[in-house]
Structure 1
């Protein structure tokens, strides 16, 4: 990440960042709404609320559900419609908070993936697909039936084939509208919803007035007991009533699903979800109270308890409320038209979230990539929109052919899928924000308590519906004899069976992602070994969407002379190839670092390796493109790397980078975080500018944070991210592990769009009594002085047991230096975890270990040293070379 130039620089060559972002902080691209190519900003708050309400099909939902609620709880129906609002509101808060952090049209799929991993996320998306396809088929059939009723062909409405054919036509028309554009869809929804709500309110007002004036014999006055849930006969009746009432609120989440096409995508969709549920509460409570006051709860005639009318209570009440003469005929027809438009509008608004869920899953490689295509002109999903329309038609026709009763029972199974993915969203919100729940009371309430309570309610409804109510063989119109289990209600078989099909598909689809994540974790260090030079702490945060598992890595490599090499890097691709490329690069970095190369030279060698890999890829994949070349994975995806070497003897840290990783530095006696001005270097394999190193003098106790882009690519932008990093670093400087946790919690409250790595070090400096250095003139007589000085120093350190071997090592190395090089010779002894002996000279030729023959006059000294040493090697410097030898200390 390149930082802009400024006129004045600090002494360390870095720019200060005192706990908050400055105006000249860098700007990095971040993933946001509209990033998948949909038409961003097409919808406003009003359109979003209209889509959210229209998706619930208020008129159709009331017509199909009021009778079921009355059968369960009797006169307490109004309060049940109000109680069912509570879990929906709690889940709406979960949607709002999750959308504020990640405005992805995949909603539950995307959020659950980030919270719990790709498999759970895939099942969340599958739950949406199951619920929407089933309801699409049923809504289309209802639209077909009411089309004939509106025209007065009641006999055709009761036929099995004709409503299905008309329903197929309705799905086709609404699919075409959704294909053409989101603006047209929103405009149609606003118009249809206006008609629907107006007629509903007129119907409710007329029914309530007639209940108190000229109502039928079934009319009853509104009572306070209707709103007392404790008057419900039993807990089972209460649960059954709420389970039925939950269905009438379902669909408001469409307002969030179109978030990538909404203005202020992180704010307006969440507000629209909450507002639409509240408006639905008012509408449903008013209609339920008015209709119950007019028709009563009897089980005959127009009574709401009449089982013959339970599948459509509004059509039978149209003539009774509006009358059968004059305007009443028109209004009764208008009520039928309202149910028709409600089901048709809900068909359209069901295509919208379903297509976008499939589109998002395909964009994240959880479904075939063909479904992620966007129309160039309309900027709507193409294959996903057409695909969900065809899938709904196929499901409608299939169940109609199999059994019309089975199609009727499938509508009940929607409740199982709804409770599943709504509950999963509530739990995902709690887990997604678990690290920030204690940050404020608001976070604890809206990100933790309310979504968690909503998730628990949905879990209870799911278990009760799937394994008690719907599993009863006498419930619904069909039952199936299952092996081992026995006869089970068809509703449970359809609902649970559809989810189990998703489990099988999930295992197949997520196999590659799981393998890539496992490979990625296995290639990273399990734990950083303790180092004398620095205190270490690290974090790796993978992005758990399918495109998120990439090639970020970090490493701390022990080098000669107690130095340490520090590296962070990023292969900006995803999947198995990126993880494998990361593993290769990390291995190469460790090998090159052990050669004691300078950071800029190491990056140059690494760049050569990437380019060589690019040339070797051509025979594997064949020529492509105008140049006839296919770049390798690393070159194609891009590779960034920052490598630093810290020397605890001198306190100097040398850094170089390829690409845009950066570092933050906090001195021990300051609260000003600086970002070193690292020379720009091209990504590895790209070519261009040469790599350059920067040297910093770090006092002991300085904290250096190395990180990749994923750590600071937040929805609020890099300015705030860098400010949060600086603020957290100054606050938790004394506990590196706690700082890592706090930094991840502050910068990544939920998993990021990209992998993120953070490597944190606190520098140390060796004490003066641990290091001794002396210079010798190039005189063979000085070899004896070197041996004597070495023996005296080892005696002072209490290492007399190593005196003989160390004398031999020093004698051999100093003799070779005087013999084969010119200029002074420097000897340095370091007492650390090992005893390190270094001899430096001005020569550039490194000695080679070989097996001396019996008649050779030389070549045995280095062989003897290698046998006595734990490690040895050569390090080149600007003035020559240094040969170093490490010996284990006595127990």
Structure 2
């Protein structure tokens, strides 16, 4: 906790921030500078709560990129990460230059401190040294920060106490006594002046979130970093309130001498006050040097702690494939991001050289533009916390306040500051040190140009870098069912949640496949890997399952054929291709659960490849059960052959098919099934409501891998819609069954279908008698129209003990036979053959006439 708070405090560079901004705040709001400094604490505290809650839910390098991605999608998340990168790189260039200047001042080389060349060289050296410290390890970084911060805080406190004592004992001519009006924001001259002061004051609090970005290197990563962030902001409030009040009381707000309103000292008010507060002889000279050392250590501490979140943000983005994968490498010994740390250090040096080559004025404006990037990604994080936890806000008053109200208010405040700063303050050509003449817009302040330009550059890069993720997501969703078709056998509802990170779109799929005889095929599968290849593999396998399912294969046989398809695809790979590593076929290792439910018998036949569990909720108990299914190897793997098992399901049973991703947020492998069982306890609710509850319970926020849930409620066919007869292999039975079928259709009110159905039955039964023999069974099934969809069907099935299916062919004019099946195919909607353990069934389907037809 101590180290996390130290890193959070050091990242804000309290001494440097006060030295560089206190004069600007006074210039804007006058004597109300202390209260404005304190008011800027409010939005930071609100955003700190957002960081705390998001970190407790998912500690992923504590980055706005990760959290915004999970809340709003990969593109928004990418821009959040880019905002932090822009802010850190721009401020690094300025911090390094400040460290170079104060390093020379500390040793009395004031001439070199005024040289742009030598301060740039010294800044580069400091970046290299501190990047190496960050590279070696977080523990060394934290230890160094403890020493640097202790020196900084000790000198700040000494400065504040000494200044206050002198104000009330041996006051200088500029001194003024502390007044209650200093802490009244309503005495600021105008709302614009107040807002301008807040914009500057917000900058001095920026950086505490570093304590969260190193959360995965912190003990108890879900609790300590979030608390350290809040504690850091509170300690900063105390420090800034004390120093700003004492400095203003000692120096006043005059525009000459040591007055805080003197524009000549606005870039560094503390150095000018050092000699006045401590004196320039004896111990005072030592303390003045300590004040310079304090600003130097503050700049160095902030430089180092800026490299930390920058490297870890880039690392997180690379892990999620939002940046090149090499930035995700970790040093085996030091356990720190290698390319991310070194690469960002090198990029900071390049930006520093680029900005310095223009002018110091341009560098100064680039630093002020950091405020836009800060407000952007802080505000985005506040909104992400609110949206991310939206499903649990009503759980308790604490959740509503800490996860919703406070972060939401923080996001709104940051949004208001961003818009006002970008278009109301910084865009003024008279603001800042540079002006840019933009086409169609005209002269614009350099601060707005640099700040918004950097964010727009990130938008362009985002479109290029996230293109694969977007394409993969579109492909994945185009290959999944857009809606589940209504079916006589079951009710169904589904949820598919693609992974939120840049690499996450993968190969989960589900399907509800109508089969002959009112049966239905149910499937859920999970492809290994992510990206376009996994999505394409999913499409290939889903198509294979649908084709094989239409052949009416048993579940175990279907999986065996699907495994053959995977092997065949693997053999078709280019010669010399190992099939391993990043280019391995994603179809290998696929898990899949395939089931066939028959509403006539209530039997469900299942087989699985890999670890694919199933939850069954009986209608009488409402208690979820996870039946033991025969094991089977993943597709493309080796192991025992696939086996089918039979389950007898009562009408109204609830089946839950899902992939492993549904349990990814559960605490341990045993917790997931229990959470799902509780979510499905009220099983009589609508399937859509049950899906929503299950997803909200098991995946309240982001997902690191695809998650799929398919809920099915079974039906049992009404016996009044079924008729069947057993026949002997006697030609005389043809006429008898034909008459019986006609009478049954008359009883059902389907007189319009009598002629065609009698013809179908006559042809199929005659063929069975002629080519197979007995026994023969005829079955009629009438399905009713489903509300809101097309009408029902009449199914005619003729089964025998033969295993040879008839072939549809075009009979020649001189042929005596071969026209029967052709005529049947023309008179029916569809027909086919399926095999059973005792023979085969030839079936046909005819659409029922509309109810209002004559």
Match of 2:630 in 1: 679
1:556-575 correspondence runs (5 A)? 556-575=512-531
Match of 2:115 in 1: 159
Q: Which moved more, 1:198-207 or 1:410-419?
A: 198-207
Shift of 1:106: 6.1
Match of 2:793 in 1: 834
Q: Is the 8 A contact 2:432 2:446 kept in 1?
A: yes
What is the number of equivalent residue pairs in this alignment? 842
Match of 2:674, SS?
Answer: helix
Which digits, 9 at most, give the CA deviation of each residue in 1:525-574, with x for residues without a partner?
11111111111111111113111111111110100011111111111211
* Distance in 2 (alpha carbons) for counterparts of 1:876 and 1:687: 28
Aligned residue among 458, 473, 479 for 2:435: 479
Match of 2:688 in 1: 737
Match of 1:685, SS?
Answer: coil
Aligned residue among 108, 121, 127 for 2:77: 121
In structure 2, relative to structure 1, the CA distance for the partners of 1:106 and 1:689 (3 Å cut) is farther
Match of 1:493 in 2: 449
Aligned residue among 587, 597, 602 for 1:634: 587
* Distance in 2 (alpha carbons) for counterparts of 1:676 and 1:169: 65
* Distance in 2 (alpha carbons) for counterparts of 1:744 and 1:464: 39
Q: Which moved more, 1:63-72 or 1:814-823?
A: 814-823
Match of 2:496 in 1: 540
1:299-310 correspondence runs (5 A)? 299-310=255-266
1:495-510 correspondence runs (5 A)? 495-510=451-466
Aligned residue among 302, 326, 332 for 1:370: 326
* Distance in 2 (alpha carbons) for counterparts of 1:760 and 1:168: 60
Aligned residue among 779, 804, 821 for 1:862: 821
* Distance in 2 (alpha carbons) for counterparts of 1:502 and 1:118: 13
Q: Is the 8 A contact 2:62 2:212 kept in 1?
A: no
Shift of 1:629: 13
Which digits, 9 at most, give the CA deviation of each residue in 1:867-888, with x for residues without a partner?
1111111111111111111111
Aligned residue among 33, 51, 57 for 1:101: 57
1:747 and 2:701 aligned: no
Q: Is the 8 A contact 2:212 2:225 kept in 1?
A: yes
Shift of 1:821: 2.5
Match of 2:835 in 1: 876
Shift of 1:645: 0.9
Match of 1:550, SS?
Answer: coil
Match of 1:189 in 2: 145
* Distance in 1 (alpha carbons) for counterparts of 2:225 and 2:25: 30
Q: Is the 8 A contact 1:106 1:125 kept in 2?
A: no
Q: Which moved more, 1:430-439 or 1:282-291?
A: 430-439
Question: Unaligned 5+ residue runs, structure 2?
Answer: 784-791
* Distance in 2 (alpha carbons) for counterparts of 1:623 and 1:563: 42
1:662 and 2:618 aligned: no
Match of 2:361 in 1: 405
Which digits, 9 at most, give the CA deviation of each residue in 1:418-457, with x for residues without a partner?
0111111111122222233233322222222111111111
* Distance in 2 (alpha carbons) for counterparts of 1:471 and 1:650: 75
Which digits, 9 at most, give the CA deviation of each residue in 1:242-299, with x for residues without a partner?
1000001000111111122122222222111111111111111111112122222222
Aligned residue among 206, 217, 221 for 2:173: 217
* Distance in 1 (alpha carbons) for counterparts of 2:605 and 2:483: 24
Match of 1:29 in 2: none
Match of 2:134 in 1: 178
Aligned residue among 641, 651, 658 for 2:602: 651
Question: Unaligned 5+ residue runs, structure 1?
Answer: 1-44
Match of 1:623 in 2: 577
Shift of 1:324: 2.5
Match of 1:16 in 2: none
Q: Is the 8 A contact 1:617 1:630 kept in 2?
A: no
In structure 2, relative to structure 1, the CA distance for the partners of 1:398 and 1:629 (3 Å cut) is closer
* Distance in 1 (alpha carbons) for counterparts of 2:35 and 2:818: 97
Shift of 1:367: 1.4
Shift of 1:724: 2.4
1:786 and 2:733 aligned: no
Shift of 1:715: 5.4
Shift of 1:671: 2.6
Match of 2:505 in 1: 549
Match of 1:263, SS?
Answer: coil
Q: Is the 8 A contact 1:95 1:256 kept in 2?
A: yes
* Distance in 1 (alpha carbons) for counterparts of 2:509 and 2:2: 46
Aligned residue among 737, 744, 753 for 1:802: 753
Which digits, 9 at most, give the CA deviation of each residue in 1:653-690, with x for residues without a partner?
11111122222111112131111212222111112221
* Distance in 1 (alpha carbons) for counterparts of 2:649 and 2:766: 36
Match of 2:813, SS?
Answer: coil
Shift of 1:633: 3.4
Which TM-score applies when normalising by structure 2? 0.96
Aligned residue among 776, 790, 805 for 1:825: 776
1:579 and 2:535 aligned: yes
* Distance in 1 (alpha carbons) for counterparts of 2:350 and 2:62: 23
Q: Is the 8 A contact 1:144 1:163 kept in 2?
A: yes
Q: Is the 8 A contact 2:666 2:698 kept in 1?
A: no
Q: Is the 8 A contact 1:517 1:549 kept in 2?
A: yes
Q: Which moved more, 1:746-755 or 1:407-416?
A: 746-755
Q: Is the 8 A contact 2:62 2:215 kept in 1?
A: no
Match of 2:116, SS?
Answer: coil
Q: Is the 8 A contact 2:55 2:62 kept in 1?
A: no
* Distance in 1 (alpha carbons) for counterparts of 2:609 and 2:586: 17
Which TM-score applies when normalising by structure 1? 0.92
Which digits, 9 at most, give the CA deviation of each residue in 1:106-145, with x for residues without a partner?
6111111222222211111111111000100100000001
Match of 1:161, SS?
Answer: helix
* Distance in 1 (alpha carbons) for counterparts of 2:842 and 2:666: 51
* Distance in 2 (alpha carbons) for counterparts of 1:460 and 1:503: 21
Shift of 1:647: 0.8
Q: Is the 8 A contact 1:427 1:455 kept in 2?
A: yes
* Distance in 1 (alpha carbons) for counterparts of 2:582 and 2:181: 79
Q: Which moved more, 1:490-499 or 1:856-865?
A: 856-865
Q: Is the 8 A contact 1:614 1:630 kept in 2?
A: no
Match of 1:889 in 2: 848
* Distance in 1 (alpha carbons) for counterparts of 2:280 and 2:683: 77
Match of 2:349 in 1: 393
1:292 and 2:248 aligned: yes
1:199-598 correspondence runs (5 A)? 199-598=155-554
Q: Is the 8 A contact 2:393 2:403 kept in 1?
A: yes
Which digits, 9 at most, give the CA deviation of each residue in 1:844-889, with x for residues without a partner?
1111111122332322222221111111111111111111111111
Match of 1:617, SS?
Answer: coil
Q: Is the 8 A contact 1:618 1:629 kept in 2?
A: no
Q: Is the 8 A contact 1:64 1:311 kept in 2?
A: yes
Shift of 1:628: 13
* Distance in 2 (alpha carbons) for counterparts of 1:676 and 1:223: 76
Which digits, 9 at most, give the CA deviation of each residue in 1:79-129, with x for residues without a partner?
111111111111111111222222111611111122222221111111111
* Distance in 2 (alpha carbons) for counterparts of 1:690 and 1:442: 53
Q: Is the 8 A contact 1:555 1:567 kept in 2?
A: yes
* Distance in 1 (alpha carbons) for counterparts of 2:131 and 2:29: 38
* Distance in 1 (alpha carbons) for counterparts of 2:641 and 2:375: 58
Q: Is the 8 A contact 1:103 1:266 kept in 2?
A: yes
* Distance in 2 (alpha carbons) for counterparts of 1:445 and 1:49: 24
Which digits, 9 at most, give the CA deviation of each residue in 1:322-378, with x for residues without a partner?
222322221211111111011001111111111111111112111111211111111
Shift of 1:819: 2.6
* Distance in 2 (alpha carbons) for counterparts of 1:631 and 1:78: 62
Shift of 1:630: 7.1
1:699 and 2:616 aligned: no
Match of 1:759, SS?
Answer: strand
In structure 2, relative to structure 1, the CA distance for the partners of 1:611 and 1:630 (3 Å cut) is farther
* Distance in 1 (alpha carbons) for counterparts of 2:401 and 2:774: 73
Greater relative contact order (Cα < 8 A, sep 6+): 1
* Distance in 1 (alpha carbons) for counterparts of 2:772 and 2:147: 92
Match of 1:554, SS?
Answer: strand
